[in-house]
Every structure is written in structure tokens, then in C-alpha cells.
Structure 1
Amino acid sequence: MISPIVPDSPVSQFVRNPDQRPDQKMDPLSEVISLLKPQSYSSGGFAVSGDMAIQFPKHQGIKCYAVLAGQCWLVFDDIPGPILLNEGDCFLLPRGMPFRLATDLALEPVHYTVAIAQFGMRNEAPGVTVGARYIAGGHFALTGSHAEMLLQSLPPIVHIRSESDKATMRWSMERMREELRNPQPGGSLITQQLACMMLVQALRLHLTDTASAGQGWLSALSDKHMSVAITSMHHDPGYGWTLQSLAERVGLSRSVFALRFRETVGSTPMEYLTRWRMVLATDRLKNSSDGLSAIAQSLGYESESAFGKAFRRVMGCSSRQYARITPNSLPAK
């Protein structure tokens, strides 16, 4: 029996605390996730009691799931070799690649909509039965600007499988298992919040996994010098940061800092700073009543003209044009 992941209203959303004092700074990971505004538009679980291969199409946003019972294979068309998912494993799919879950690799996959139609739909997730494979989690739409800033820093799959990492995720997994096993009033909201916790926790575990280190701002947060530089720019984006002042802040020579930053992050410090300023600008243009002059000044630009040139260079359109269009109609960057 397969039970679909039941969509819920997008109430599970990372937001800034309106009561947060100005001196209470968010860490870079929290801040970027907050600005990306991931909304859990589906959360729950599905069970497979027999052998089956289910094909899932390309998706938008991020999927984050945990194997609550049994084991199965995760297969990508463009990644060699199947990945065995054991009980307790978590996996994050940030690139939207099509994939399939199979209990037997020799089986012909069926589209997930066909599987649901074949086995019927239910409005709640079933309990975990003996011998069943059971997966639960959430699918997140990213409604903020520059979603690729996060996604391009991640591999196609983040696989949480070490015993210590699974122990870190266990509380959220057990709570989700209980909510799905014994539905109660408010369970949909709790399940959404637990899925959000699993998403952030999976990113944190990926961040501390040196074996998975790659290029990008997320991996850079695990480097003590680069983390200080990125945190400094995030905490005070309007400051007149220079290559020299950032190098001094992290305790490296200018040349060594510049080289390490580019190798770790994939851009120069000044390119990163400009792009981060534009991420903040797009958020304020869409979600505040602040004028261009106020936004420009708060982000370290002496004039609207200087701000406008930087905005067009990064975003591919003027700030006024951006304020009138949706993120999905932006030029590809």
C-alpha cells in the first residue's frame, strides 16, 4: 500500500523574528534559509509493503526524507550506481533531479501518480507495518530570490548515513514517525515543522562532513577563516569592506585570503559581498516599503546610481523592473 504525501497549506515557513533585537545577529546559514523562504507545501509519508520501483519526475525546490522502516534503493539516471538507503538514513535532494525508489533494481519503474492510482489514496499516512518500507519527510518550495545560491553549493544528494549523524536526526525522525502513526489534531502542522527541522539539520550535518566538502559558500562555512569573513559580511553588509580589511579580520595576508576565498567559495570576496547585498536588496524590494535611496545607503552605496549599476550587473535588470516582476521571470544568472 502506498499513501501519498498529503499537501498542506504553506504555513511552515522560516521567517525572521519581528521581536529580534538589532544586536541579535542570525548566523549565515539561518539568514540565507530565511531569505530563501522555504515553504513546506507537502509533508508526510508513504509506505511500500511489497516489491516496487517508483519513478519521481524532476522537481522544483528541495526534497528531504528519512527512511523510518526497512530499506530500498535510490537511483538517479545521471548518477552512476544505485544508493542503498537503510533504516534511519536521511537524504536531501536539492537539485530537483528525477529519481526512483526501488525495492528491487530489476523491476520496471512506474510513475508515482500511477502507483498512487493503483493502490488508492488516503488522507492520512498509515502506521508502519512489519516488513514495510516507510519513508517520510517534506518537499520545500523556495520562494525567495537567488535559490541557486544555496542549491549550487550542494551535491545532487546529501546522504545522512553515519550512525553519529543518524543519532542527531533521530529525535525529529521519531517524532515524525509518531505523528504519522497516530494522527491527532494539529498533526499536519507538527509534521511540517519537523520536516523543516530535518532540512536544516541535514544541511548542518553536510556542513560538518569534511568528506563532502566542495566549492561554495555553504562548504566555506566549515572553514574557520572563510566562515569569519562570510559572517562579517552578512552581519554588516553596509560596511565598506575591502579585501585588506577582510583579510585582517580573519588573520591572513591579503594574497592568501584572496586565493583561499576564491578556491573555497568560487568567487572573489568582493563579488560575494556584492551578490549578498543584492540578495538583501531583492528581499527588501519585494517585502518592504523602503525606497531605493534607503536600501542603497543601508547596503553601503553612496548613491542610487551606484546601487543601480551593481543591481543591474548582478540581476540582469534594473531594481525598478525587479520590483514589478516575479522571481520566476528573472533572467538566468
Structure 2
Amino acid sequence: MDPLDDVLRLLGTTSHVSASMTAGGSWAVGFDAPDGIKFNAVRRGRCYLRLDGSVEAIPLAAGDCYLLTHSRPYTLFSDPEAAAMPAGPIFLAATDGVARAGVGDEFAAIGGAFRFGERARELLLDGLPTVIHVPAATAEAAALQWAIDQIDVELRQRRVGATLVAEHLAVVMLIQILRHRLASEPAPTTGLLAGLGDPVVAVALREMHRQPAHGWQVAELARAASVSRSTLAARFKDLVGRGPLEYLTGWRVELAANRLRSGDETLASIAQHVGYGSESALSVAFKRVTGHTPRAYRHLARTR
């Protein structure tokens, strides 16, 4: 099994593609902190991205994409001296799906957001930088450009099912951006992506995701990765941020939590499915990870 695919599915990853934006002349648009993870793809022209509180701005050119993984206000601008107009009124006034800023249209971008389930930050996002910038010249940019082109066609032509197609294409973009991050230098410091970027740790992650209910021991995982037990344990903790069996416990709890949220399966059945011999063993692990008993968690999930 692909651990990244597993996590994205479990998190219920969805996307929303907003209106395109064009701009020209001297312009600046200020955006509130996004609800979720924000992405933008530059279709033509150039601009700069500056996060609230940052001095440095990131230059963006046609074909570039970026992902904002943490909720912070930001500004897109062509001119650092231009007064930033709030994005809200500009996008509310959009016509034909296009918001307009400044004078002219030499700049164009498509943007949107990704939303995840409640456990996304701990499982995936905490190990990511605030901004992931994918320049047009990178290897992943070709696949991104294809998805962007198709999204643009769908948004402009508005054929049957266009919104759904555009949103699925945006998820393709997300995977390509995460792949870019996985291959980047410097590599992610800790977390799932850091582990997947290591040939030894990635084997152990794939094995645990392939059979999460199996009674894994570190020695067995080390044999699968063709390294010693101590080597695997040290590399896994350095890269993922916790030991192999601690990670396995967390992943089993995430699988159990998903079943608690989405159905009426008994705790005994869930425990067996995720690798615990009894309901009480699952309850102990579940409360240690989430702070709630499985029954309390199920109740909270259904009253939100």
C-alpha cells in the first residue's frame, strides 16, 4: 500500500476551485488566512507572494504553483509600493468566473483550496513548510501544467460536471506538489513525507500500511528493509518523529477513528480489524493517542 495515498483517503481530502484572477499594471491583493490549504497556479505574467509577517517575497512566474500549508494571511502583488486591496470584494465582483485587479490582464492565475479531516495537521501537515513553491522548471511542473490547463478549460467551458472534474484535477495537483516536496532539497525534516523519502524507512512504512493489523515487531520490519533492528529504529525515529511501533499504534488508531466516524460497527469488530485482540486493548491505545475513549470519540464525531 502507498502510505501517502492511505493518508489522503483517510483524511477525506477534498478541493474547491475558486474563480480565476487577472491583474495588470501596479496592483496588490491581500488575502485573509485561508480556511484549509490554499493553492495558486500562475497562468501568465509574474507577481510576488508575501506571507503576513515575512520580509522576503517569493517571485512567481508563468507555470509556477504554490501551496500554503498553514493558515496565514498573504498578499499577491506586482508592485511592493501598491496599496493592497482586500480580496473579498474583488472575488465577489467576479464576472464569468474571473476576478480582476489593477488595470489590464497581463497576469492570470487559478486558485483554490484543499480541505481535510480533523487529524490532517498531525498526520500530514505539521511536517510541511508554510509555503511549498513549485517552479515551472521542475520535473513535477509538466504534470501540474497539464492539470492546470484542464482545470482552466473546465472553468471556462462550464460543461456538465465541470466543477467536479476541476476539483478532482486539483487533487491531482496536490499529489504532484507533495511529490515535489518529497524530492526537494532540503528534504522534509520530520513526518510522513520525510519517512517516504528514505529508502529504508519507506519500506517499513509500506509494510505497516499494507498489513496494519499484523503483529509487527521492529526486527521483522528491519528484515523487510534489509537493515539491522537498531538502524531501522534510529532512522525511523529521526525521520518520522516517533518509533516504528509508536507510528503503527497511531495509524491503527486513525483507522479505528475513521470506522467510528463512518459507521455503527462494534468496538470489538473494529479492534479486531485494526490489530487489537480486545476492545479494552483498543480503548487504551485510542485514549492514549486521542485523549478520548472510542465511545466518547464516536459521540463527539456525531454531534459536530
TM-score by length of 2: 0.91
Query: Aligned to 1:198, which of 157, 163, 173?
Result: 173
Q: CA deviation at 1:73?
A: 0.6
**Alpha carbons of structure 1 residues 79 and 262: separation in structure 2 relative to 1, 3 Å:** farther
Task: Give 1:314's aligned residue.
Answer: 289
Q: Which residue of 1 aligns with 2:116?
A: 142
Assess if the C-alpha contact under 8 Å between 1:238 and 1:300 holds in 2.
yes
5+ long unaligned stretches in structure 1: 1-25
Deviation sequence 1:195-216 (CA, Å, 0-9, x none): 1211111112211224343211
| Helix, strand or coil at the partner of 1:88 | coil
Other-structure match for 1:99? 74
Deviation at 1:116, TM superposition (A): 3.8
Indicate which of 226, 245, 257 corresponds to 2:220: 245
Structure 2's unaligned 5+ residue stretches are: none
Q: Deviations over 1:86-114 (max 9, x none)?
A: 10001111112221111111222232124
> Corresponding residue for 2:250?
275
What one-letter code is carried by the residue in structure 1 that aligns with 2:189? G
Tell which deviates more after alignment, 83-92 or 58-67. 58-67
Aligned to 2:232: 257
Q: What's 2:3 paired with? A: 28
- Name the residue aligned to 1:124: 97
C-alpha distance in structure 2 between counterparts of 1:226 and 1:279, whole Å: 20
Q: Is the 8 A contact 1:37 1:144 kept in 2?
A: no
Q: CA deviation at 1:289?
A: 2.6
CA deviations on 1:40-81 (whole Å, 9 max, x unpaired) are 244342222332211112223211221011111100124441
Structure 1 residues 29 and 177: alpha-carbon distance in aligned structure 2, compared to 1, 3 A threshold? same
User: Which residue of the other structure, out of 144, 158, 179, is the alignment partner of 1:169?
Assistant: 144
Give identity over the alignment, percent: 35
Q: d(CA) in 2 for partners of 1:234 and 1:63?
A: 28
Amino acid across the alignment from 1:292: L
- CA distance in 2 between counterparts of 1:181 and 1:303 reads 55
Q: CA separation in 1, counterparts of 2:165 and 2:188?
A: 32
The count of aligned residue pairs is 301
Confirm or deny that 1:305 pairs with 2:298: no
Pairwise CA distance, 1:144: 5.1
**Corresponding residue for 2:14?**
39
Distance change in 2, residues 1:187/1:116 (3 Å): same
2:167 maps to 1:189: no
Q: Tell me, yes or no, if the aligned pair for 1:43 and 1:138 is still in contact at 8 Å.
A: yes
Change (3 A) 1:66 1:328: farther
Alignment of 1:14-25 (within 5 A): none
Distance 1:217-1:90 versus aligned 2 partners, 3 A rule: same
Runs of 4+ aligned structure 1 residues displaced above 4 Å come to none
Closer, same or farther in 2 for the Cα pair 1:264/1:79, shift >3 Å? farther
Deviations 1:251-278 (A, max 9, x none): 1111111111111111111111111111
Deviations 1:10-63 (A, max 9, x none): xxxxxxxxxxxxxxxx41111100011122244342222332211112223211
2:218–2:245 Cα contact (<8 Å) kept:
yes
Q: Tell me if the contact between 2:75 and 2:84 (Cα under 8 Å) persists in the aligned partners.
A: yes
1:153 aligns with 2:127: yes
2: distance between equivalents of 1:327 and 1:133?
A: 45
Q: Is the partner of 1:106 in helix, strand or coil?
A: coil
Amino acid at match of 1:306: A
Match of 1:21 in 2: none
**1:203-235 residue CA offsets vs partner (Å, 9 max, x unmatched):** 122112243432111121111111110111111
